[in-house]
Amino acid sequence: MLIFKKNRNNKGFTLIELLIVIGIIAILAMVATTAYVGSTLKADRSEAYTNLESLRLLEEQFFAENAVYTANLAALPGFQPGAGTNFTYALNLNVALVPPVAVPYGGATVGQIPCFIATATGNAGTRPGAQGDIFAIDCNNNKNF
């Protein structure tokens, strides 16, 4: 007859220990994912801020050379935001922002000649688009970012 002797010196983990480790890993993954999404959204928004500042400077240069602003982005050859941007850029003439400018920009403007508003609207299907981000800057350097 065989007698089974219980070996109390098992080398391994209990189910409770494994569940605790899995729980800790899940919490760390959740925190890391949230931080990653926040930092990528911040990077996407900084793309818009930089491009709008560049667009404003190019509009001022165009005005200095031609005595008028332009609503045509193609007339500003120095403005090349690149392929695959997260924002769509547009120019509106003879309006200015009314400070304080809300985020997202809602279109509250006043007539001012000559002046322009450059806007960056988040593209659908991107993180800024999902957030409904619309940023704006005008000829007086009023902005909502």
Who wins on pLDDT, 128 or 17?
17
| Total structural domains within the chain | 1
* 3 lies in some domain: no
pLDDT score at 6? 60
Distance CA 77, CA 65 (A): 14
Q: What global pTM score does this model have? A: 0.75
- Tens of pLDDT, residues 18-58: 999 999 999 999 999 888 888 888 888 898 999 999 999 99
| Residue 24, in any domain of the structure | yes
How far apart, in whole angstroms, are the C-alpha atoms of residue 92 and residue 100?
19
Q: Is residue 103 part of a domain?
A: yes
Domain range for residue 112? 15-138
Core vs surface per residue 60-94: b (16+ CB within 10 A) or e = eebbeeeeebbeebeebeebebeeebbbebebbbe
Look up residue 40 and give its two tokens.
């990528």
> Is 41 part of any domain?
yes
